[in-house]
């Protein structure tokens, strides 16, 4: 027996279907409006780019510098194997795609890069740091001798025409290790805390040209310099290495023919001679720039206090190196003529 529906019932059902369709269209429109409003408030590169000052605040980069960094890192960043997946390893530089992908990507590559300085999303951060570390390691940051001299600002060249590098050591606080031997190795008498220590070098124009691996905070400046490998660079007779008084490496530099330029010591004298005071001031004005370079690295506040898990995994070395390399995308520290003139006066 066939079901018969009279015309009035059929018309009523049609009206009801139409009402439901209109209701669905309204709800869809309302949802799209809400999503659009939410999208404008989302923490993303696209939205931050609408406000250059806010973008600079969160990234420490201009939009152009950020794009330059992303371009340098390459298309491989769109196909990362995420840390924590079964195929993840320390070789994102060798196979950025991986045979078995991790979790599906929720963010664009540029938004994940933005997370590096704003989020504690450890899987994304670890993956990106590892990949960026290997990408940056492909670049030789120690300049050739001719290039180093050619890039010296004019006033710097007048004062020290063969300056190859200015060095200084820096320490970052870490959580106290449980192992007594590790406690002793990392305890810094200078900081009265457990730390890791790195040697940083800059060129005469302020660009970072050397970053050592992190060592236990108990290491001396001299031992850190020797262990870092910087003395194995392509030094030549007549080159100048500038440092603070604590770097007693004259004997290590002598076989290389490299001059150590450090502030003079009193050596039992009651006071400095006038020429020694002038020399001390000039060297101090040069050295301030390596301190400013280190300050740029530490602007990434993950180094304010490092948990021991980052030390034991070794990822802290990669984080420190990557952060140092990121600062080279910022405007030069030594570029303003007046500033350079002040340095050498």
* pLDDT the model gives residue 85: 56
Distance between CA 138 and CA 74 in Å, rounded?
A: 13
Tell me the pLDDT tens digit for each residue of 202-219: 998 889 999 999 999 999
Distance between CA 142 and CA 210 in Å, rounded?
A: 6
Tell me the pLDDT tens digit for each residue of 107-151: 777 777 776 554 445 777 888 889 999 999 999 999 999 999 998
Pair 203, 148: CB distance under 8 Å = yes
Q: How far is CA 246 from CA 45, 284, 342, in A?
A: 44, 14, 25
**Residue of 314 and 146 predicted with greater confidence:** 146
Please compute Rg for the chain using Cα positions: 28
Strands 208-211 and 193-202: antiparallel
- What crossing angle do the helices spanning 337-344 and 274-298 adopt, rounded to 10°? 140
- DSSP for residue 228: H
**Residue of 267 and 152 predicted with greater confidence:** 152
* pLDDT the model gives residue 219: 97
SS3 175: coil
Tell me the pLDDT tens digit for each residue of 226-277: 999 999 999 999 999 999 888 989 999 999 999 998 876 555 555 656 665 6
* pLDDT the model gives residue 262: 83
Distance between CA 80 and CA 118 in Å, rounded?
A: 20
């Amino acid at each position: 027996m066939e079901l018969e529906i009279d015309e009035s019932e059929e018309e009523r059902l049609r009206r009801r279907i139409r009402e439901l369709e209109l209701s669905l269209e309204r709800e869809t429109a309302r949802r799209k409006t809400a999503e659009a409003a939410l999208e404008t408030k989302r923490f993303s590169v696209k939205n931050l780019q609408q406000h250059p000052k806010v973008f600079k605040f969160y990234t420490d980069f201009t939009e152009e510098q950020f794009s330059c960094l992303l371009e340098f890192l390459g298309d491989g960043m769109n196909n990362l194997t995420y840390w924590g997946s079964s195929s993840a390893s320390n070789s994102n530089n060798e196979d950025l795609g991986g045979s078995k992908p991790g979790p599906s990507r929720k963010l664009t590559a540029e938004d994940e890069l933005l997370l590096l300085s704003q989020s504690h999303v450890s899987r994304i951060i670890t993956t990106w740091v590892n990949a960026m570390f290997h990408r940056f390691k492909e670049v030789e940051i120690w300049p050739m001798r001719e290039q180093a001299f050619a890039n010296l600002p004019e006033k710097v060249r007048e004062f020290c025409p063969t300056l190859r590098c200015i060095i200084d050591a820096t320490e970052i606080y870490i959580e106290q290790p449980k192992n007594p031997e590790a406690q002793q190795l990392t305890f810094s008498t200078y900081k009265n805390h457990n730390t890791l220590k790195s040697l940083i070098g800059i060129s005469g124009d302020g660009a970072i040209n050397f970053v050592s691996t992190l060592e236990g905070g108990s290491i001396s400046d001299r031992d850190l310099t020797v262990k870092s490998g910087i003395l194995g660079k392509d030094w030549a007779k007549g080159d100048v290495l500038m440092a603070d008084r604590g770097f007693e490496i004259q004997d290590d530099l002598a076989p290389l023919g490299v001059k150590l330029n450090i502030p003079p010591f009193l050596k039992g004298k009651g006071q400095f001679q006038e020429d020694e005071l002038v020399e001390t001031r000039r060297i101090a004005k040069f050295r301030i720039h390596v301190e400013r370079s280190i300050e740029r690295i530490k602007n990434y506040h993950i180094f304010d206090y490092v948990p021991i898990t980052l030390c034991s995994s070794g990822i802290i070395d990669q984080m420190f190196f990557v952060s140092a390399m990121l600062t080279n995308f910022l405007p030069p520290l030594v570029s303003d003529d007046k500033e350079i003139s002040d340095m050498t006066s």
